[in-house]
Structure 1
Amino acid sequence: MRVLARVLLGFGVFLVVAGVIALTWAPGVVKKTPLDVDTLTVYTGEAAKIDPATGDFDRRPVYALTDTKADSEASSSDHVLFVTTQCAVFDTGGEKVCVDGEDPDLITANIDVFATDRTTALSVDDKNLPADAVPHEGLVNKFPFDVQKKAYPFWDGTLGRAVDIEYQDTETVDGLETYRFSYTVADEPIEVAEGVDGTYDNVITVNVDPRTGSIVKSGQDQQRYLADGTQALDITVVTDDDTIKTAVDEAKANGSSLTLLLTIVPVVGLVGGALCLIAGGLLLARRRERPGARVAERSQDRVPA
């Protein structure tokens, strides 16, 4: 009985400590953007781009790729640096890859380097960013953990500034409950091409896992116009089904891990630990109430000569 009491007390202390750690220390550790991000997002849709030589503006199938990688060596415990390669290409039926700048099927392409806070997901000015990196503001490639139903500043690379993206409603995507956010810009002055002024319209929509802040689906409906009103670009794309499934599966797995670490472990630790401590204490108290117990145990253990 004495051994059992000590085991219960020791195990109870262990569980309580684990529960306290899960409540106080774990959230600040697990609710951070990881440093091993390496994702490829594939979009499909249709687009039309003006041909300067002929004036043709035919709408054709298109795909877009966003390849995002974290630079773990340049990142830190507080910030994570990302390198994102993006392109939009007319789909001629071949492999979906970013083509070079001489390819007539290329619509747009760019490389973006930025840093975000690992907790808030907001853009930051990090000392390890290259000197020519474009300053960012707002959210870029994910939302913070525990997303709220409110507006967030969201980076628009074409405008070069953040735009408020508003919560719209709750929507189920592949069995995952998500928050849908969107923003609209219209008649915004931009450079339609290098040295060519014009205007820009766009409707951006993203579906976000509210637990982890990961974007599982997104799309845009973008138009660009020359200064005289001639439409130069019309592109509508949305995340393809395979990318959505992968993102949803990852969000579900990460959400389950958070539930285990931040909910189940604290409950089991604190409640189970308390029960073990109470049971161990009762066994010791019961033993003290039996003054002859130790003598009896020693008598039973005595071996005859």
Structure 2
Amino acid sequence: MRERGVSGKLGVILTGVGVFLLGLALLVRFYAYDRLAVVPLDQETVSVSEGPGATIFDIANQEEITVDLVSTRNVVGDVEASEEASDELGRQIAVWETLVYTNEPGEEIDTDDPPRSATYDRVAFDRHTGEAVKCCGTFTSTTADENGESIRNTIGFDGLYFKFPFQTKKQDYRFWDGSLGEATEIEYKDTETIEGMEVYRFEQEIPATDVGDINAPASFFGIDEEGEVTIDRIYSNTRTLWVEPETGVIIRGQEDQLSMANYEGEDVATLTDVVIGYNPETVSDNVETYSSLATQLKIVRIWAPIVLGVLGLVLLLLGVAIMRRRSRDATA
């Protein structure tokens, strides 16, 4: 009699634990994962790209020169703006600002000595999908006034900007290009490995496109005319991004840029011709930082629910079996 009571209690306990573990499996997969698979609001990162042997047009000397270029990108999250946007729109929004400046290695940058080029963007995007959101006073700036303050142009960004979605698929996406001022298709090409990390390689082909005019003295470009002329800036680029699929983070990036000065259908100067990409230190830092996060997300998304679910189901079935056997023994 006592044994029947003990087995009955054991059956109830096993059944209860089994139900609890099954519920926990669902909670981990559909609640905990959704709260982990978001970008941080307080983002603060620095990445460095290098473009050796670049050809650029030097305005001071009015000629094409060959230099090594280094591009430094600072990204900082605006926590207050992100929280306000999330409350207002009823979805999880991040607002990040990014400053990218390009110059020769080791050159000091100040008001009197500006970089070769600089871009300052404020972008709002969905914390899960990475898709840009039109809100929050987003802007882009590529020029500054006489006091060195950025001249900001309000703009609504589109497509992906900082990263790809969590659980990136082997499919095509739309990625923002600042020179075009719009997002265009970026195609999945292959699965590769960087320092032991599996990544998806995407490529974005931007054909030669007129992206704006330049008013400059004809003599700048060796044009046999008096005064200023209007030059078309013809831009093309092949952007290659290596993306860790679980997090959607860009582990490595590279651009093969060509920008030509064109006058009345004829190229008169090379403005920029460079292959520039993340330096090895930046790539290694990205691999080290995001490999552990990718593993954690995969555990929460796949392995923890499976283990908890299987264990819960086994205990539930065992508990039910014990209680049924006790019931049969009691009626025997």
The normalised TM-score by structure 1 is 0.84
Quick check: 1:184 aligned with 2:223? no
- CA shift for structure 1 position 44: 1.2
- Residue-by-residue CA offset, 1:180-207 (whole Å, 9 max, x unaligned): 1112223312247688642112221111
Q: Give the counterpart of 1:233 among 272, 282, 287.
A: 272
* Distance in 1 separating the partners of 2:133 and 2:303: 34
Q: 1:64 — aligned with what?
A: 71
Quick check: 1:133 aligned with 2:154? yes
- Output the amino acid matched with 2:198: E
* Distance in 2 separating the partners of 1:182 and 1:25: 34
Q: 1:223 — aligned with what?
A: 258
- CA shift for structure 1 position 129: 4.3
* Distance in 2 separating the partners of 1:88 and 1:70: 21
- Residue-by-residue CA offset, 1:39-88 (whole Å, 9 max, x unaligned): 21111122232223433423222211111122222112421111011111
Q: Give the counterpart of 2:283 among 244, 248, 259.
A: 244
Q: Give the counterpart of 1:15 among 18, 21, 26.
A: 21
- Residue-by-residue CA offset, 1:224-255 (whole Å, 9 max, x unaligned): 22233211222321101111112122332122
Within 5 Å, give how 1:1-305 maps onto structure 2: 1=6, 2-46=8-52, 47-75=54-82, 76=86, 77-92=91-106, 99-103=109-113, 106-127=115-136, 129=138, 132-191=153-212, 197-228=232-263, 229=267, 230-289=269-328
Q: Percent identity?
A: 29
* Distance in 2 separating the partners of 1:217 and 1:22: 31
* Distance in 1 separating the partners of 2:135 and 2:193: 36
* Distance in 2 separating the partners of 1:62 and 1:168: 28
The normalised TM-score by structure 2 is 0.78
Given that 1:199 and 1:226 are in contact with CA atoms closer than 8 Å, whether structure 2 keeps it comes out as: yes
Cα pair distance change 1:146/1:193, threshold 3 Å: farther
Task: Give the secondary-structure state (helix, strand or coil) at the position aligned to 1:57.
Answer: strand
Q: CA RMSD in A?
A: 2.5
Whichever structure has more strand as a proportion of its residues is 2
Aligned pair count? 287
What runs of 5+ residues in structure 2 fail to find an aligned partner?
1-5, 140-151, 217-230
Given that 1:63 and 1:91 are in contact with CA atoms closer than 8 Å, whether structure 2 keeps it comes out as: yes
**Which deviates the most, 112-121 or 7-16?**
7-16
What runs of 5+ residues in structure 1 fail to find an aligned partner?
293-305
- CA shift for structure 1 position 257: 1.1
- Residue-by-residue CA offset, 1:244-270 (whole Å, 9 max, x unaligned): 112122332122112211112211222
- Output the amino acid matched with 1:154: F
